Amino acid sequence: MNIAIASDDGINIASHLGRTKGFVIFNVQEERITQQWYRYNTFTGHARGLSDQGHGIDRHGPILEALKDCKVVISHGMGRRIYNDLQQAGIEVFITDEKIAKSAAELYIKNELVNRPDLGCDH
């Protein structure tokens, strides 16, 4: 199972999923992290230069495609639409106040990661 965590530097959790520079991907087998790598963000609407356009267009298809190998997506914040779209795609979504990506992944594995959807934004 893969866990994707929005991160600008590969260590700290980014404040907004759509604007992150990339994702730390943790592969988990038998309740432990077995691999870790960084996937650069070339697929969110903001990364594709759509940040000044309305949210009425389908901006989330590329994100869903790029993260389809992940069971979980974690960030400090994200818009309500992408939160719902990820869930509808069968991906668990966490908005957390944890700071460090690896710590958040370890808390998720132990079923101790707190989801704070109230930290998301409504844009």
The predicted-structure confidence for 9-66, as pLDDT tens digits, reads as follows: 999 999 988 889 999 999 999 999 999 999 999 877 666 566 555 555 557 788 899 9
Please report which confidence band the pLDDT of residue 97 belongs to, taking 50, 70 and 90 as the band edges: very high
Cβ-count burial 31-47 (b if 16+ within 10 Å, e if not): eeeeeeeebebebbbbb
Q: Where are the beta strands (DSSP E) in the chain?
A: 2-6, 22-29, 32-40, 72-75, 92-95
CA dist 59 and 62 (Å) reads 7
pLDDT band, residue 122 (cuts 50/70/90): low
Amino acid occupying residue 30: E
Q: Render pLDDT for 57-93 as a digit per residue (tens, 0 to 9).
A: 557 788 899 999 999 999 999 988 889 999 999 999 9
**Which class is 2-119 in CATH?**
alpha beta
